[in-house]
């Protein structure tokens, strides 16, 4: 296994999740056209890492860019926004955001919010992070947050999503859907809704869930409405392994909330939005990539066993 990004918990820090001292790790300077680089997803690839990045450009259009990194900290992004190859061979510019990426069976899947005919959740894939192929929309509009599971469950592909509206949706629960072929999705089940405090307004899945003996570890975002607007924090839950629509535990306190300047100041203040988590099974280390204030990409860390224990001990 390649060494995932890691920095030890600073002395005296008693938080379950701690931030990289290098934050923010990706800023707008990484691509000339960028107004902001935010909610982005990465995976181990070859001798290093690859990913799909949300770049809002200087026309404030929502685009995706591919990227590569040797160490997971320093990234090179494609100058051109991502386009998808369709079944007829034509190329189609992606107008979309909030990608997730995972390796499943023989390829890397990308799930993102497609603004073209939506917004709704769409699927694409790549083998090499050079050529990307369109699979199509998974759901009807409106749905703006899709996360695939990293293996079939009960013989079917499985996806978490959050049905929404066309705007800055003031509601949102997490649902589970199945597919025999990655194209046709059904058997939709409710997984979890809002709760009090930091997750009172809406909740949505974050990184690809991590399979553990205690269930699927799902890091998710939760939103509260203050007099100043939305505040996006992150929590964690354990979902049943074979019936992931059954929540075993979910945290009452958040695990990460906007507190640093780069999380509280930016295009959308007070946002932490995790989209990827690299897990090294040997060391139990987890590196979480999250968007901050809809402006930059940041890194935070935790240990798998500590997070599982935290979820169980701090369950609501
Ligand atoms: C959500 C999405 C995210 C964004 C968040 C906070 O609805 O648009 O991309 O980070 O709002 O602005």
Domain spans, the chain: 22-313
48 Cα–ligand 1 center, Å: 28
Q: What is the pLDDT of residue 152?
A: 98
CA–CA separation, 308 and 287 (whole Å): 15
- Of 52, 273, 289, best ligand 1 pocket probe by most atoms within 8 Å of the beta carbon: 273
| Residue (of 79, 49, 61, 158) closest to 111 by Cα position | 158
CB-based contacts of 42, cutoff 8 Å, min separation 6: 49, 50, 51, 67, 69, 72, 101, 276, 278, 289
57 Cα–ligand 1 center, Å: 16
294 Cα–ligand 1 center, Å: 7
Contacts of 33-37 with CB under 8 Å at 24 or more apart are: 33/57, 33/58, 33/79, 33/81, 34/58, 35/60, 35/267, 36/266, 36/267, 36/294, 36/295, 36/296, 37/77, 37/296, 37/297
- Which DSSP letter does residue 1 get? -
Sign of CA dihedral 128, 74, 307, 202: negative
| Residue (of 264, 277, 146) closest to 204 by Cα position | 146
Alpha helix segments (H runs only) across the chain:
261-264, 304-313
Q: What is the pLDDT of residue 2?
A: 86
Paired residues of 250 in beta bridges: 237
- Of 146, 147, 271, best ligand 1 pocket probe by most atoms within 8 Å of the beta carbon: 271
* Contact between residue 150 and residue 211 where contact means Cβ atoms under 8 Å apart: yes
- Of 98, 142, 169, best ligand 1 pocket probe by most atoms within 8 Å of the beta carbon: 98
What CA dihedral angle connects 89, 275, 120 and 138, to 10 degrees? 60
Triad 23, 67, 50: Cα angle to 5°: 90
CB 232 near ligand 1, within 6 Å: yes
**Can you tell me which atom of ligand 1 is nearest the CA of 267?**
12
Q: Model pTM greater than 0.95?
A: yes
Mapping DSSP to helix (H, G, I), strand (E, B) and coil, where does residue 311 land? helix
CB 263 near ligand 1, within 6 Å: no
238 Cα–ligand 1 center, Å: 24
Q: What is the pLDDT of residue 243?
A: 98
Reply yes or no on domain 22-313 having CATH 2.115.10.20: yes
CB 112 near ligand 1, within 6 Å: no
Q: What is the pLDDT of residue 1?
A: 66
Nearest CA to ligand 1 atom 7: 168
Nearest CA to ligand 1 atom 4: 294
Nearest CA to ligand 1 atom 3: 98
Q: What is the pLDDT of residue 74?
A: 98
CA–CA separation, 137 and 59 (whole Å): 25
CB 271 near ligand 1, within 6 Å: yes
* Contact between residue 159 and residue 179 where contact means Cβ atoms under 8 Å apart: yes
CB 39 near ligand 1, within 6 Å: yes
**Can you tell me which atom of ligand 1 is nearest the CA of 168?**
7
169 Cα–ligand 1 center, Å: 10
98 Cα–ligand 1 center, Å: 8
Nearest CA to ligand 1 atom 1: 168
Per-residue pLDDT of the chain (316 residues; tens, 9 = 90+): 689 999 999 999 999 999 999 999 999 999 999 999 999 999 999 999 999 999 999 999 999 999 999 999 999 999 999 999 999 999 999 999 999 999 999 999 999 999 998 899 999 999 999 999 999 999 999 999 999 999 999 999 999 999 999 999 999 999 999 999 999 999 999 999 999 999 999 999 999 999 999 999 999 999 999 999 999 999 999 999 999 999 999 999 999 999 999 999 999 999 999 999 999 999 999 999 999 999 999 999 999 999 999 999 999 9
């Amino acid at each position: 296994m390649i060494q995932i990004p890691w920095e030890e918990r600073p002395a005296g820090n008693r938080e379950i999740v701690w931030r990289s001292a290098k934050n923010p790790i990706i800023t707008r300077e990484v691509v000339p056209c960028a107004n902001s680089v935010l909610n982005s997803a990465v995976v181990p690839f070859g001798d290093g890492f690859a990913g799909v990045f949300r770049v809002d450009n200087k026309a404030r259009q929502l685009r995706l860019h591919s990227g590569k990194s040797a160490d997971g900290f320093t990234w090179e992004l494609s100058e051109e926004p991502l386009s998808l190859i369709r079944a007829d061979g034509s190329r189609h510019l992606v107008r979309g955001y909030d990608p997730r990426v995972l390796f499943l069976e023989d390829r890397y899947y990308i799930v993102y919010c497609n603004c073209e005919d939506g917004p709704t959740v769409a699927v694409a894939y790549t083998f090499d992070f050079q050529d990307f192929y369109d699979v199509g929309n998974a759901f009807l509009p409106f749905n703006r947050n899709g996360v695939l599971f990293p293996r079939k469950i009960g013989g079917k592909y499985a996806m978490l999503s959050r049905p929404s509206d066309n705007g800055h949706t003031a509601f949102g629960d997490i649902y589970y859907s199945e597919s025999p072929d990655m194209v046709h999705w059904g058997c939709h089940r409710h997984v979890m809704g809002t709760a009090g405090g930091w997750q009172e307004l809406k909740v949505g899945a974050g990184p690809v869930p991590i399979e553990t003996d205690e269930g699927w570890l799902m890091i998710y975002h939760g939103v509260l409405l203050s007099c100043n607007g939305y505040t996006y924090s992150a929590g964690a839950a354990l979902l049943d392994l074979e019936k992931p629509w059954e929540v075993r535990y979910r945290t009452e306190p958040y695990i990460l909330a906007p507190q640093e300047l780069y999380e509280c100041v930016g295009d959308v203040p007070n946002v932490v939005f995790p989209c990827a988590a690299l897990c090294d099974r040997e060391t139990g280390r987890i590196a979480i990539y999250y968007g901050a204030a809809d402006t930059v990409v940041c890194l935070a860390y935790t240990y798998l066993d500590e997070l599982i224990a935290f979820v169980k001990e701090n369950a609501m």
